[in-house]
Amino acid sequence: MNTSVGSFLVILDLIGTFAFALSGATAGIKYRLDLFGVLVLSFAAATAGGLMRDLVIGATPPTAFSDLRYLAIAVLAGIIMFILPRTVQRAQNLVAIFDAAGLALFAVTGTTKALAYNINPVSAALLGMLTGIGGGITRDILINEVPIVFTGELYAVAALSASSMVVIGHLLNWPIALVTVGAMLLCFVIRILAIWRHWQLPVASMESNHRTKGSPPSSE
């Protein structure tokens, strides 16, 4: 990977870090956590996905710990949201927007980094998805919520769509910039439309369309 492309991807990764950090901090403010709690959520949401990816591909120490810019950006985002709580109250969809932006950026950069470490295309796409959803999962677990990726929303699907597009572009030698922008837009649009239009995957249910043995007949 040449220097200019590497620098471009680092910039995208830092932007994604800031976006996810904002979503983590916003969730902390929603649950009225103190400053430390908000900063912990900010850092966790911003770096968990990248940490998982780096550990899997053997990129140690993980970038989140070896590059202080990631910590600085997460702390900055947390402080900004902590001192501007009314911004959160006015914008109810703020978390979703920041989360969708971070998901798109991380899915793309995560896949690209996996490919740079010569991971096979299928695994690279899955690692890109993991990079995108890891922060959101960690954030939701820390605030004692079921992660949205497990509740039927098109969250992991959006990330996997972006990471798959990056892999396809890599295999077909498409222009990196075009593939990167296209994959990010694809993920972001799918996620926002899923929220807006309430698109969901099938959700497990304990109910049955058939009357169980021994149950009384329906009065209908």
Cross-strand partners of 200: 153
Confidence of residue 217 (pLDDT cuts 50, 70, 90): low
* CA 193 – CA 140 distance, rounded (Å): 21
In the chain, the percentage of residues whose pLDDT exceeds 90 is: 59
pTM: 0.84
Tell me whether residue 78 is exposed, middle or buried, using C-beta atoms within 10 angstroms of its C-beta: 0 to 12, 13 to 18, 19 or more. Answer: buried
pLDDT tens readout for residues 178-195: 999 999 999 999 999 998
Rounded mean pLDDT, 88-95: 62
* CA 1 – CA 10 distance, rounded (Å): 12
Give yes or no for a contact between 26 and 37, defined as CB atoms under 8 angstroms apart.
no
Exposure class string for 95-117: b at 16+ Cβ within 10 A, else e: bbbbbbbbbbbbbbbbbbbbbbe
pLDDT tens readout for residues 142-182: 999 999 888 877 899 999 999 999 999 999 999 988 999 99
Residue 13 reports pLDDT greater than 60 = yes
Task: Name which of 79-88, 137-146, 157-166 the model is least confident about.
Answer: 79-88
Rounded mean pLDDT, 88-116: 82
Residue 219 reports pLDDT greater than 50 = no
Tokens of 44: 């966790």
DSSP 98: H
In the prediction, which pLDDT does 195 show?
Answer: 87
